[in-house]
Amino acid sequence: PEVKKFVAWDYVVFAALFLVCASIGVFFAVKERKKKSSKEFLVGGRQMTCGPIAFSLTTSFMSAVTVLGTPSEVYRYGASFVLFFFSYALIIIFTAELFLPVFYRSGITSTYEYLELRFNKIVRLAATLIYILQTILYTGIVVYAPSLALNQVTGFDLWGSVAATGVVCTFYCTLGGLKAVVWTDAFQMIVMVVGFVTVLVRGTTLNGGTIKVWENAHEGSRLNILDFDVDPLRRHTFWTIVIGGTFTWLGLYGVNQSTIQRCISCKSEKHAKLALYLNLLGLWIVLVCAVFCGLVMYSHYRSCDPWTADFISAPDQLMPYFVMDIFSSMPGVPGLFVACAFSGTLSTVAASINALATVTFEDLVKKGFPNLSDNMSTWISKGLCILYGVLCTSMAAAASLLGGVVQASLAIHGMCGGPMLGLFTLGVVFPCANWKGAVGGLFAGITLAFWAGTGSFIYPAPPTKSLPLPLSTLNCTLANSTEALMTVVPTAAPDRPLLADTWYSLSYLYFSAIGCLGCAIAGLLISFVTGPTKGEDIPPVLIKPVCNLFLFWSERLQAVLWCTVRHDSPE
């Protein structure tokens, strides 16, 4: 069936969104043009309240990868994705109670400044470079993936949309700084939820109501959610999602410059924590919407799967295809949905560009030229925004050559984010870790994570472990009318190395955990061998007394574990 392409109204709706975004940037540029400092530009002058920040956090991490990826994930593998409900809760609690207080009190603008205060410049530099690399890679993918999916289905020009995204993001990041990013995000969050809800309502009514959708999903065994199999090679089980997912997202959330930069821009620590907890609500809402969309999609296509029938060329295109399909009679609505997917992209890209600019400015430029005038600093910050905008957009062009990079990029996040998480954990939780341990641990963690990650790309897990659920093409009007169930079992390559079915077949959600634990353990060992840091040398602000929770009965044990950091002294 030939699915409709975009019509005039769709373009109108879509263009309207882009215009609103750009005009927010202009508005803040005009409003704030009196305040020239780079601090104001990059951290919003530390005056933000919790509402917009919470919205902003939710939108940035719900990029188009979520809007397009999660529903098709649920469609193919079942609703176990909803278990991220628990991971998100754990992540937010850890971020708000463990990392945020330390970062907020130490008065930094870049999270890597913390590493210098706690360890030294070498650690800070290593971490900064890894972060810059990781973010550019990820942002390239985030721009490219939705452009590709939407291009295949809606006839939207691919490079047109890549370029437009890059230009608009860079534009409103350069003009308005952090405040523009935060307020556009709040606007985009609303667009996103509206988009999801329209798809849900229309999809459910077409498929005979919620109960019918539920029954269909149950028949297709899409609702076997609680799978307590401890096998770490299985792609999604309760444990991989709750434990692996928590590590992966903590690397993205708890210690990531984009998140922390926003939390630090709050008026007070209380506001920052509130923002995080409100953001948890947002994450839950988006997650539930996405999972439900997947189930509605399954119900709609249960007897004719467009992917196996070759109407679309990649699973990421399921969601746009579904939208064009159910809204073909309602011009303007597909435009809203595309706007919804793109707003996810815009916010992620803008946040990344802003964070990259901050990190480069604070960690590289200021180190080289310490006495810049305020005016000069602001111009350099803007120049950096433009530079990174160009880099990320060109990274998207590279992503097109790499083929199936969406999961690759998320794994890159796990592989870089895990060791970083380990590094910050060493700093915040273990007073005895020294800088040699930090550097050694970071490299150990990255080596381990990249070893597992690259292995898993070269030798993909056996299909028994990543079981996609059955999809049927019985009622399709196929071009060559072969009424076959397409279940292709790839033949295993004979020359798989010993590790291929164990270490390389780990669930992709565990890469981050490996990197983090590897980093922490190696770091502690190296620290003890080279002589641990003396507690007296560490300002108490930089450490969070975690073990006090577990050893509340004995003050002496607390003091021993604290390695004599003076925690009882008033801060």
- Euclidean distance between CA atoms 457 and 277, whole angstroms: 36
Residue with tokens 């999609």: 297
Q: Retrieve residue 476's tokens.
A: 């399709």
Rg of the chain over Cα atoms, rounded to whole angstroms, equals 24
The most distant pair of C-alpha atoms in the chain lies apart, rounded to whole Å, by 79
The DSSP output letter for 266 is B
Confidence class for position 178, pLDDT limits 50, 70, 90:
low
Mean pLDDT of the chain: 80
Confidence class for position 514, pLDDT limits 50, 70, 90:
very high
pLDDT score of 548: 57
Residue with tokens 């159910």: 326
Of 41-55, 221-235, 264-278, 348-362, the one with minimum mean pLDDT is 41-55
- Euclidean distance between CA atoms 244 and 249, whole angstroms: 9
8 Å CB contact between 526 and 555: no
8 Å CB contact between 518 and 448: yes
Of 196-200, 224-228, 337-341, the one with minimum mean pLDDT is 337-341
Q: Identify the burial level of 474 via C-beta atoms within 10 angstroms of its C-beta, where 0-12 means exposed, 13-18 middle and 19 or more buried.
A: exposed
Of 26-40, 420-434, 441-455, the one with minimum mean pLDDT is 26-40
336 alpha-carbon distance from chain centroid: 23
Q: Which CATH superfamily is domain 40-400 in?
A: Sodium/glucose cotransporter (1.20.1730.10)
Q: Retrieve residue 214's tokens.
A: 């539920």
Confidence class for position 228, pLDDT limits 50, 70, 90:
confident
pLDDT score of 190: 80
C-alpha angle 531-126-130 in degrees, rounded to nearest 5: 135
What burial letters (b/e) apply to 248-258, b meaning 16+ CB within 10 Å? bbbbbbbbbbb
Q: Where are the domains of the chain?
A: 40-400
8 Å CB contact between 505 and 536: no
Mean pLDDT, to the nearest integer, of 73-81? 86
pLDDT in tens, 388-403: 888 888 888 777 665 5
**Distance in Å from the first CA to the final CA of the chain:** 68
The contacts of residue 542 (CB under 8 Å, 6+ apart) are: 102, 106, 114, 117, 118, 427, 428
98: pLDDT strictly greater than 70: yes
User: Rounded to the nearest 10 degrees, what angle do helices 257-264 and 111-118 cross at?
Assistant: 90
pLDDT score of 561: 60
8 Å CB contact between 298 and 131: no
Confidence class for position 405, pLDDT limits 50, 70, 90:
low
Nearest to 452 by CA among 241, 239, 233: 233
pLDDT score of 556: 59
